[in-house]
Structure 1
Amino acid sequence: MCGFVELETMGLNQCVSVALLVVVIECVFGASSRSSAYRYQNVVQDSQEVDARGRWLALQATNGVRSLRQQSTPLSSNLLTSNIQFKQDMTNPTNQLFWKFPVISEEPAQPHINFELVQPESANSVAALCLENGVQVEVKLDFFGTGQLLEPTLFSLGGCAAVDMDAEAGVLIFQSALQDCGSQQFVTEDELVYLFAIEYTAAPFQGTSVIRASSATVDIECHYPRKHNVSSDLLQPAWVPFASSAVAEEVLVFSLTLMTADWMYERPSSVFFLGDVLNFCASVKPFNHVPLRIFVDHCVATANQDMSSGSLYSFIENHGCFTDAKYTGSSSTFLPRVENDQLQFQLESFRFENEGSGDIFITCFLKASIADSQIDGLHKACSFKPNGWISSDGSDVACGCCDSSCEVADVPSASPGGPFFFF
């Protein structure tokens, strides 16, 4: 026996109930025929089940009004059977619970499209002009071609700020000597090269950390030929004798060319009609000489290439006096001089009387003087106007002798190698 209970004042029903409860406990803890592993399982794992089943047996015994002595079957056997059945009922419930992980609907697949990343095009926002001794650069404030004007102070030419700004056009202007503003120089076999850089340094908007442009650098190169004389000084080696230098200085190339109406090109044809105007351009190339100013000393028109025979008409004479307008009232004239080594003049077309061929041969004598020399009676280009003689060089005083006789000077005679021209 696991325990003993004395009943003194309790009723019969209560006594039976307590006795059955004691039996249940005895069966759980005192069943010696069972293995220790089975007892351990009943005590630890199924303690609640045993307790519940014991109460159920007590209730059955009370309803049947039976005593422990009247039971023909040991309670321990009935309890074991009932306990096993109870465990089976608990492990096999009639209502089962089913649960599945929720299925998430899939996103529709991205359709295949033809996509091409468009690369930004060049903004063409920088222009440079290489001068003889410097460079001039213009930069658009719309530097990246996006329509956004950038801050002018963020631009520099090798560290030099802009010297001017065209606000209406949105253009910055930079100027620098060839050796300034961080320029770099190197020499090739044929050229001198000067490198400059326009730099833009991106900065955030005032009061923010927002930047909407990247820093950028645009390189600029100025190329100059190594074997070209860009100044008025002579380029002669020190070891060359003076005689050779003097001969080189005397090499001058004169030309007299018929030009088109716009003075852009040489006229491909020498055929004219009466009333047309002949455009002439006289020029000289000094090469290694100091700068020169060219003059048309005198010109004659003949019916034959031989100046000693046939009709002859002198229309420029007296060392540069254009007399055709004075003699015939034509529009023939010298044009205002633009370059010292060029002189343009116009001759109104005509023909000789009793000359059936209509051919005219024009012969002119050209000469040149130092460009810095003054205009005088022997070196001038004068045109006749209703109000008097006018110089193409602006020195009208030198034309005062055209109505008389200018000072006579030794003029070289015509020779095959002289500056005479025939048309």
Structure 2
Amino acid sequence: MELVPAVCLLLLFCSACRSEDGLFLEDPELVWARMETMMSKEMTPAPAPETKLLRSASGSGSPEAKNVPQYLAVPASQTLKQVFKPEQGARSLPNLANEMLLVTAAPTPAIGATAGTKLVEILCHVDRMYVRIRREVFKTRDAYKYLKLGTCPVNKGTKEHYYLEYLLRTDCGFEKKSHPDYLSFSNVLHYRPTGPVLREMPFDIPLNCNYPRFFHSYKVGFYPDRMGAVFKRLQPKTSFTLTPQDASGNEITGTKTFTLGEPMYFEVTQPDRTAQLGGQRIYIDKCFVTASRDPNSNPQYTVIDNQGCMIDGKENEQSRFLAGASEMVQKFSLGALIFKNGVSASSSQQLYMHCEISVGTRTPTQGSKACNYDPATKTWKELYSDDSVCTCCDSTCSLAQPKASRGMISSHSWEVVASGKDDYAAVDPRMNSLDVAEHEDLKQWENDY
């Protein structure tokens, strides 16, 4: 007769094994042993792996690196943030960091490896809680009926233990709390027998799983023979803008159509740094026009060259640097042009402007300047300062030193048509003798250029 309750008990536990809440599907003793071993390894800081990265550039090994733990779990604090705060330059490693990073980690004892036998044990996995309690605690054969983890019943039993395993997301009454250094899930193991009499006392055992927030403050790498600092820009190298404008200084949006020879205006600025810089100036080192968005395409027509010489000013008086209210904004004008190849009287071309820009001191040099050509005196003149820096515009202007902040920028496209309607009046191309007599001074122009 005693076999019947035992069989019923086994059937009860086996039916629980089919639950969808992550319950035991195999021998719980084997599962517990496996999880205990795995979690013991997880809680022990692993030593740094011995790889080829643990050798210096000279090939000699670094024994110290092999004795340092691969990671350390440390509590977050304002002091630690200051210790590991990135900064420019070099400084000695603070004592707190020395003690934390260079100490050899002692192995953590295995979970549950104690001399005495534990009556209640808990294992905290990444997404669930394992609880087991020895059956010898109870004197009632059906004690499992009154034993619960929060509101959830026993999953399975063996000769020695009752087992409860539940996912943390299960509605068993888990309480989640977030702390600066860890995340905790807590519950209560209840034993509350019913009936008119008690043969053992009820109890409530609080259970808690803490999940540390690990900070991987460093990883062991190779030890270079020479130490130095490497600096990397946090901002994009090119933060300039090149904007087509109308004669009033308003930005031209969309595609603008110009007639051949019509004046065009451009503005170069660096809006994200204009308010921060003092005693500096934007320089346009080179500008050229292409028929493609690609600045490396051909053909190209150079407008500004030789570190800031408006060389197209010798061909067209409309091409010149323009003064403005701020030297951190540089404007220039240009007569609308098209490329000669494949052009007809009714054709048009889509064009793009590309410029190399740099920032330097307000005092210009031969390597950083804005020089316009003056056809009246046949000389070069600097836009704001001493004209002597422009004397090299007819030869080669040398750089005293490479420019640190330099970038290529491109404008959006514009269209130029060969001629517009009613732009030119009809003329008779023939000349009579009177025309020639009245224009004898044309011969003098040939000698001027």
Structures share a fold, TM > 0.5? no
- Bigger Cα Rg: 1
Q: Point out which structure has higher relative CO (alpha carbons under 8 A, 6+ apart).
A: 2
Taking structure 1 as the reference length, the TM-score comes to: 0.38
Q: Tell me the TM-score normalised to structure 2 length.
A: 0.36
